[in-house]
Amino acid sequence: MATSPASHHSEAVAARAESRWAWFVGAVIGLLLVMIAFTSLHWVMMPTKRIETINPSTLHLQGEFVEGNLGSAVEPDGSVTVRVLGQQYSFTPQCIVVPAGTPVRFRVTSADVIHGFLITETNVNVMLEPGYISTFDTTFKQPGDHVMPCHEYCSVGHAGMWARVKVVDRDTFFKQAQSARRQSCVPH
C-alpha cells in the first residue's frame, strides 16, 4: 500500500509531538531528581539549628514538664504556651483549653516511646519523641471542640490514646487565666 504525501506529513507531525512530550516529561523527572538530591544534601549539611533535648526519665521530677506546669500558660507578651506530656497511653493534661485568635505555642514531649500529636480540623501535627521537645506554633481561628488522637502506633493501647482540645473565646480564656497560672479543662 502506497502512502500518500499527506499521511507522510501527519506521521512526521505526530512523531515531533511525541518527542516533544518525551523531552518534557524527561525534564520534569530530571527536575524532581535534582530537587531530591539538593534537599537531601542540604539537610545533611545543615542540620536543624534548634534542637531542644530533655531527659525523659526525669520529666516528672524537674523542669518544665513537671505535672504542675502542664497545660496552658499566658506569656508576658500575651501569647499562650501549652505544655503537654505524652506517655503510654494518654496525654497530660487530658483536656487542653486555648483561646481563639491568639498565638499559641505547643511544647510537647514523650515520657517513653514515639507518639503522634495531632489536633483535628487544624494544622497542628507533630511527633512526640522521647528525649526531644517538639514545638508547634498556631492560632486557632474560632472557638470549638477538637479531639487530639495519638497518630503514631505506640503499642497495644494506641487506639485509646487521645485527649480533648477546647478552643474558647479570647476574653473567657484571659479572664480565667487571671485566677490560675496554668489552665486545663475537665474532660467530659
Which residues in this chain contact ligand CUA in the complex, by CB under 6 A?
A: 89, 115, 150, 152-154, 158, 161
How far is it, in rounded angstroms, from Cα 43 to Cα 56? 26
* Cα R_g (the chain), whole angstroms: 26
C-alpha cell at 136: 508547634
Q: Which residues contact 68 (CB under 8 A, 6 or more apart)?
A: 182
Q: How far is the CB of 62 from ligand CUA (least distance, A)?
A: 24
Which residue lies nearer to ligand CUA by CB, 66 or 113?
113
How far is it, in rounded angstroms, from Cα 167 to Cα 4? 75
Which residue lies nearer to ligand CUA by CB, 89 or 174?
89
Q: How far is the CB of 50 from ligand CUA (least distance, A)?
A: 24
Which residue lies nearer to ligand CUA by CB, 83 or 158?
158
How far is it, in rounded angstroms, from Cα 93 to Cα 163? 8
Which residue lies nearer to ligand CUA by CB, 38 or 153?
153
